[in-house]
Amino acid sequence: MNPPEFTLRAATPADEPFLFALRKATMTEHLERAGESTDEHTHWERLRYRYGDAYVICCGSEKLGLFKFFRDLDEWTIVQIQILPEHQGRGIAAHLLGEFLSHADDARVPVKLSVLKGNRAISLYQRFGFHVVDATDTSLLMRRR
């Protein structure tokens, strides 16, 4: 199977309406189930968190999602991977994750992320070697390597 064809480009302020709609479409269900706030202010705060580390996933000129991450010297962090619902299941997140983890392996650094309990992405992360290292009432902190 060929990897999905897409590119990453740095998010700009012009992307904010797309990213806000993406966040609502992909996260509201999980946030409600976890008892977390889903009001617009909270969505905007989370969207703008580490905005300089946000990359829009594109196929040509079509926006498919968001990949937000940062790299510290001793550990890399995946902040968010969000794919529009109509593009989920095509291997986009798995491809991004695999590429990112390959670079982390080359750099010999562990990778961490946080995911809401009950999110189906947990099984994807486990397939890539992430393990739960801590938990809150609503989230799991997962780490690889």
pLDDT digits (tens, 9 = 90+) for 3-45: 558 899 999 999 999 999 999 999 888 888 888 888 898 889 9
Query: How far is the C-alpha of 108 from the C-alpha of 129, rounded, in Å?
Result: 15
Residue pair 122/115 in contact (Cβ under 8 Å)? The answer is yes
Residue 86 has pLDDT above 80, yes or no: yes
Q: Which domains does the chain have, with CATH numbers?
A: 7-144 (3.40.630.30)
Higher pLDDT, 118 or 4: 118
Q: Residues 102-110: what's their mean pLDDT?
A: 97
Residue pair 142/115 in contact (Cβ under 8 Å)? The answer is yes
48: its two tokens: 């703008």
Determine the pLDDT at residue 114: 96
Q: Please report which helix (H) or strand (E) contains residue 93, including its range.
A: helix 92-107
40: its two tokens: 């617009």
Q: What is the pLDDT of residues 35-84, one digit of tens each?
A: 888 889 888 998 899 999 999 999 999 999 999 999 999 999 999 999 99
Query: Strand, helix or coil at 62?
Result: strand
Q: Residues 120-125: what's their mean pLDDT?
A: 94
According to DSSP, the β-strands at 76-83 and 111-116 are: parallel
